[in-house]
Structure formats: structure tokens, C-alpha cells
Structure 1
């Protein structure tokens, strides 16, 4: 009898010890909703519920927001996956959420449990596992090769690799870029002829004459858009490469990014003003990128004053939209650095191939507008309209002869 009582007590104690943490978790009012969805087998809804709790507390309660991301990451990593695809998805979700905890909520209990950026912490172990998983992809290998080519030094190699990547992209696009700039220069030379046609014709007839003029000069008004469109696939590829390499960028520094000043920088819109590594946003670098984006659009020549006004407005609007989008989505300073370097190269190319020749041509021609050589009927007609007509001279006055006496 005594043995049975002891056995029952031992089993009861074991049950209490085993169920204690689970009961405490279930009793946590913060996580009650996702826990209930887990029990019901509604896995994706449970994952979404963790993130919804984070959103509700992000601006009011850092501890609660960080805890929701931490527990949601654990669920995504340990209990959410049922196959290999979901395992990868769970790893990526957990890594992104834990990265947010470590970088944006470093003083919380959740960040301490993750171990911060220590190599032996939960977050960095997961980050390195994902990096090993991504290392077989060619985009990852390309960035990793450039980093090694630049010395494999965390103080500068990661940043230099991104600048070198921007140079390589510009070299690949150089033949098309030269065609674009040649088209821009020809469009500038044609402006007197274009204005003459605009003064003489209206509506569909003007469009027909303009197309004849473009055809006779071998200019495609849409050709300037082609290199810009071709840059988009490169931007998408580079963005994907940086996303795959982002946990390696946690060790990367560049100039003030990762310096001693970055660790004491004031907060700005939910994060530090200065990036502590190239995986974090950096507001000064983003501001410099926005400025170069505006200059790039301002240097693009317009065909008439109305288009110039529209172009100026678009330059301001696009710059503001990109700045806000990058800031809100907290895109890494690595991607911003790449685009900043790309813009600097574009500004130099536009100045050398378009802006500078245009100014020199204006100086050579004096105060007058640049001229275009007509090589066809439509162009000749436009040139005739643009050429000023000389006024007839008044007849010379003849003095009357004096009569002889």
C-alpha cells in the first residue's frame, strides 16, 4: 500500500513537472490566440497570429513585440514544418523575425535569449546554417567571390565588393548605354527642327511630321528607355543575391557603418540612425542615395520646356517615394550602397557623354540654339521653318543731279 502511494505521488510530480511549462505557455494571455490555432492544426493562421501580435505591440510595448517574434520564430522553426519545403520556409521566417529582434530590440529578454550577434547564440547559429544552405547558389558564390577578391576583410571588403559589382554591371551595359547617350545628343541637336514643326502643325499631322523627322535622323525617341529597362533585371538579381548573402553582411562594415559611432546612434523610425553592419539600414547612406537618384534624373535632357517641367516633378516624386519605401521596409544598407554606386557611375557617364558635350556645343554656337543637319524632306521642311527669313532692304536713295547753268 505504501509502495503504491509513493508511486502515485512520483507519477503526479512528474506530470506536474512535465506539464508545467506547457501550461504556463498556454496561460500566457499574449500568445493565447496563436497557441489555440496551433492546437487546432491551423498552422499558417497560427504563424500569422504571432506576427499580428508583434504589429499590435511594436510601437507600444517592445518586450511584448520582441517576445511575439521570438516565439513565432521558434514555432516556424520547430513545429510548423511538415516537409522539406516548409522547413526552408520556416528557417527563413525564423531568421528574419529573430534578426528583427536582435537588431531592433537589443535590450529585450527575447534578444538576450537569442544571444544577440554572438556566434554561439541561437540567432547566429541559424543564420550560419542558412548561409551554408545558400552557398550552393551562383548568386551567393558571385558575391562571396567578390568579397574574397577584395581581401575578405570585414572592415572594407564587403562594401568594396558591392561597388565592384556596380562597376561590372555598368561595363556589361556600356554598349547599350552609349547608344542611349548618342540618341540623347541627337535629340538635343534636333530641338530647333522640332520646335519649327510644332509651330506649323498640330494634332495627327504634327505626329506624322515628327516621326518623319526622327526617321530621317535615325533617332528612336523610345531608345533611351531601353538601357533603363535592362537595368531592372540586374537590380532584381542583385537584390536576390544580397538577400541570400545578408547574414554574411552582418559581419560587414564600410566607412561609418559598423564604426563605434554607429553603436551609440540615436533611434530613427523604429531603428538606429546609423547601421551597425551592412545588413542593417543606414539613414545617411539612404539620404545620399536619394540625392544621387535626383541628380541622375535631373541630368537627363528633355525635348521641350513642358517635358522638362514634368521631368523635374517626377525626379522629386520618385526620389521621395524611393526614400520612404526603403526606410519603411528597412532594406539593408548593402543594397542601398550598390544602388548608390550605380547612380554615381550613371551621373559621371551622363555628364561626360551628354551634359558636357551639350554645353560645349552651346558655347561653340554662341547664344543661339544648337543646329541639326537636315537629311531628308521632313527635316528640310523643318529647317526651312526654323531658318529666319531675311527682310528686304529698302531701295537706296539717289541724289538728284544739279542742273548746269
Structure 2
């Protein structure tokens, strides 16, 4: 329970700031789903430099990965502490020579966590409601809560809380069960949710979950192209994690699932454009370490960069090369002086040899 847990004053300020930003957007665009998407996009733009640094660091690690594996094979089977320490020293030396930080891909991710967790906490209704309360005093004794807070806590929720047919305050587990009352505690108010009735109400909630699982899986598969080769356990984790997120997302408010899906889509778009273009070039200029894939757009860019030969008359060097090839084929017959019997299939070569001999005699004269 993030909202009720006093983690730190700084983190509470971050939660309040995100809640106030969401309430501000709702004031001018009274649609909770659209506001969640806009706020997620704004935060991803702010975190873009960290995302770029993360991808470039992973690509740099991929470039030197063959040398790292060669070093590991060198010390394979050596379990003593001296050999292990020497291998680590050589690895660090290799990283320094190529300007690679082995922890460069982790630090940007860790730096993003506070903001992403704070946004997660604000959208977790009703736990995040205290952060969207946003007192606006219209008089000495007349506090007015933000419009978003009033719509989220009103019985049945207002129309603006719905998005593509789903009440974003309800979860997929609660969908179709009618009225759901969540009792508050402390600063968390009691919320009465109108989650609808009937099986048809559940369809948009399930579509949200499918979109979240699908985008999570695709985003992780996309990142594998920029990361070094993974072992079997890590590959299995890539397959299991999307299903695990879908399982826990079944009990989360649909607004949280929408935020999660939007974040995945933004990351997929960022990686689509950054993974092909951010390949690290080795010292010898070889770009063979470029990650495979990158979409059809990268393939078209490579084709455009390839020089094409324009149609026209044969070049002088081409004519000389073809002439040399013909002379090479005529030489055996010429050495025989052009005389004697001509075998099958050698008539043209023999006549060509005699003509070549006559031309040489004329040049000598």
C-alpha cells in the first residue's frame, strides 16, 4: 500500500506532484483514460535520456561479448580464487579499453524506478486518492477538492472515469459484479465502484489485460536483440514474466493496466528507432556487431545507403578486363602457331589464333 506507507517525505512529494498533474489534466480534459495516457507520455519523454543511455550501454556490451566469452573459455575449469580474480581483472581491463561500463545498463533503470513506482501508486485507486485530492480553497472555511477526486469518489463514478467501455477504477476481477464498496482507512476514503453487470462488461477489461501481456512480451523480446546472449533461465523468465504480470494485473484497477500498456508501447517505439541506429562500431570499423532485426525501416535505410551502378556504356577497365580474358583463352592455340588439325569445338579459337598471329606480323613490319 504505497499511499498509506510513509516511505519518505521526498517520495510523498513526488506522489503528490504526480497526483496534482493528473488532476490538472483532468480539469481541462475530463477523460481519465486520456489523461493517464498523456501523463505517461510526458513522463516517458522526461526519462528518454536515461532510456537512450541504457540501450547504448547494452549495445556496447554486445560488441565486446565475443571477447568476453573468449576470456571465459580461457579460464574455464579454473575454480581457484587466484584465477577467478585474474579473470575479473582482465574483464575490467577489457571494459576500460572499449569504454564500456558493465553497470551502465542497470543505472538508468534504477533511476526510473522512483518515478514509475510513484505513478503506479497514484493510479492504484483507492490507495492513490489522497494524492489527487488537491485542496483548492475558494474561501476561508470552504475547501473544494479537485474535480478528479470528486468524480473518483462519487457513487457510480462519473462518465469521465470510463474509457472505451471500462470503468478504470474497477479491475477485471470486479467487472460485471455490480456495485463494489471498498472501505477506506486513514487518509484513504471509502469508494463505491460501479463495475457493471453481465458478461459483456468484462470484454474491455480482458482486452486491456491481453494488450498488457502482449506488449510486455514483445518489449522484452525486442530488448534481447540489444543485450548479450542470454542463458536458458533468463529466456524462460522472459516468457513467464508477461504471464505473471497479467495474473497480478487481473486484480489491479483498469487505469493501472492502461498505464502499464501505454508504457510498453512507448518503450517499443523508442527501441524500434534506437536499436538499429545506436549500434556501436568496433575499432576496425566493422559493423557486423549490429543487433539483428530493427524492422523493415532499417532494411530500407540500408538499401538506400548502398551505391547503385547507373546503366551506361561499359567502362574502359571493364573492356580491358574482358579483352584480357579473351586473350587468355586464345593463347594455347596461338602457341601452336595456328596450324595443325583443329579438334572439335576449337574452330573459332583456331581462327582467332591465326588472326592474332597475322596482326602481330603486320605490327612487326
TM-score (norm 1): 0.46
* 1:189-212 Cα shifts (integer Å, max 9, x gaps): 223322332333335133222221
Structural RMSD (CA): 3.8
Distance 1:268 1:337, change over 3 A: closer
Aligned residue among 171, 176, 199 for 1:272: 176
**Who is 2:95 aligned against?**
214
Compare relative contact order (CA 8 Å, sep 6+) and give the higher one, 1 or 2. Answer: 2
**Who is 2:272 aligned against?**
351
Q: Is 1:325 the counterpart of 2:199 in the alignment?
A: no
Any conservation in 2 of the 1:299–1:355 contact (CA below 8 Å)?
Answer: no
Shift of 1:268: 7.2
Aligned residue among 26, 31, 34 for 1:147: 26
Distance 1:241 1:360, change over 3 A: same
Gaps of 5+ in 2: 5-15, 79-83, 133-148, 179-193, 197-201, 292-365
**Who is 1:224 aligned against?**
105
Aligned residue among 234, 237, 241 for 2:115: 234
Any conservation in 2 of the 1:297–1:315 contact (CA below 8 Å)?
Answer: yes
Partners in 2 of 1:234 and 1:191 — Cα distance? 32
Distance 1:258 1:324, change over 3 A: closer
In structure 1, the residue corresponding to 2:166 is in which secondary structure? coil
In structure 2, the residue corresponding to 1:220 is in which secondary structure? coil
Q: Is 1:197 the counterpart of 2:71 in the alignment?
A: yes
Gaps of 5+ in 1: 1-88, 90-136, 260-266, 372-405
Distance 1:273 1:209, change over 3 A: farther
Which has the larger share of strand? 2
Structure 1 runs (4+) greater than 4 angstroms displaced: 267-270, 273-277, 355-361, 368-371
Partners in 2 of 1:288 and 1:370 — Cα distance? 30
Distance 1:162 1:308, change over 3 A: farther
Any conservation in 1 of the 2:177–2:195 contact (CA below 8 Å)?
Answer: no
Shift of 1:247: 6.7
Any conservation in 2 of the 1:166–1:341 contact (CA below 8 Å)?
Answer: yes
Distance 1:357 1:220, change over 3 A: closer
Distance 1:352 1:253, change over 3 A: same
**Who is 2:52 aligned against?**
178
Any conservation in 1 of the 2:208–2:257 contact (CA below 8 Å)?
Answer: yes
Any conservation in 2 of the 1:298–1:312 contact (CA below 8 Å)?
Answer: no
Shift of 1:289: 0.8
Distance 1:355 1:293, change over 3 A: farther
Which has the larger share of helix? 1
* 1:102-153 Cα shifts (integer Å, max 9, x gaps): xxxxxxxxxxxxxxxxxxxxxxxxxxxxxxxxxxx5443221111234x32x
Partners in 1 of 2:265 and 2:247 — Cα distance? 21
Any conservation in 2 of the 1:273–1:282 contact (CA below 8 Å)?
Answer: no
**Who is 2:151 aligned against?**
248
Q: Structure 2 matches for 1:303-382, cutoff 5 A?
A: 304-305=228-229, 307-327=230-250, 330-355=251-276, 357=278, 369=289
Partners in 1 of 2:73 and 2:59 — Cα distance? 22
TM-score (norm 2): 0.51
In structure 2, the residue corresponding to 1:282 is in which secondary structure? helix
Q: Is 1:257 the counterpart of 2:166 in the alignment?
A: yes
In structure 2, the residue corresponding to 1:248 is in which secondary structure? helix
Q: Give the count of matched residue pairs.
A: 217
